Amino acid sequence: LSGLDLDRIVVFDFRAKDQYSGGFVGGGEREFKSYANSPSANDPVISNITFNSATVACTFNAAVVESTFSVQLQYRKFGDTAWINFGAAVTSDTTISRPLTGLLGSTTYQVRLSGTRTTANITSWTSNIVSFDTLPDTPTITTNAASVVTHNQATLNGTIDPNTVSSRVRFG
């Protein structure tokens, strides 16, 4: 059997001619699903990067006709082994874009697209992995009470955690 359409359910019945009655005898209907083209995905694109969030988008082709599919964006901190899903999965269309929040500042993250489908071949796939760095946190500043206060002077007090950002202290 050749010339099959991609990702289609094919129903067939093997029949033979009965030499005694002259009629055809069937072996019962059977079905199979033809193979689909390979799925594909572009590299995820990261935008709107801040110290604790980013937006991730990816275009893909699930290459299904009668089969179903689901794609999900995933992330992990660089060096971790487990992938974490974020945002809702997509079961139609060819693009996905989701905000990624709750990140740590000055940290390298990796993202990818992960897909599954109900085809007869290549039932799961992933895009290439793309890395990005979040921006540094803003400095954390605390103004404390003045001390050694007299009629013509005072000592001003405060603390700063620069959070890896070059910082300058100024009272004013």
CB contact set of 7 (below 8 Å; sequence gap of 6+): 33, 34, 35, 36, 37, 63, 64, 65, 66, 67, 119, 120
Q: Provide the 3-class DSSP secondary structure of residue 39.
A: coil
CA distance 110 to 107: 10
CA distance 23 to 103: 72
For position 92, what pLDDT does the model report?
92
Q: If DSSP states are collapsed to H, E and C, what string results for 88-139?
A: EEECCCCEEEEEEECCCCCCEEEEEEEEEECCCCCCEEECCCEEEECCCCCC
Tens-place pLDDT, residues 113-139: 999 999 989 999 999 999 999 999 888
**Strand partners for 30:** 12
CA geometry: angle at 147 spanning 142 and 150, to 5°? 140
Q: What is the pTM of this model?
A: 0.76
- Please tell me the total number of residues recorded for the chain in this structure: 172
Identify the weakest region by mean pLDDT among 72-76, 83-87, 120-124, 138-142.
Answer: 138-142
For position 33, what pLDDT does the model report?
84
C-alpha dist (Å) from residue 32 to 6, 26, 29, 35? 12, 17, 11, 10
CA geometry: angle at 12 spanning 70 and 123, to 5°? 20
For position 2, what pLDDT does the model report?
75
CA distance 72 to 56: 11
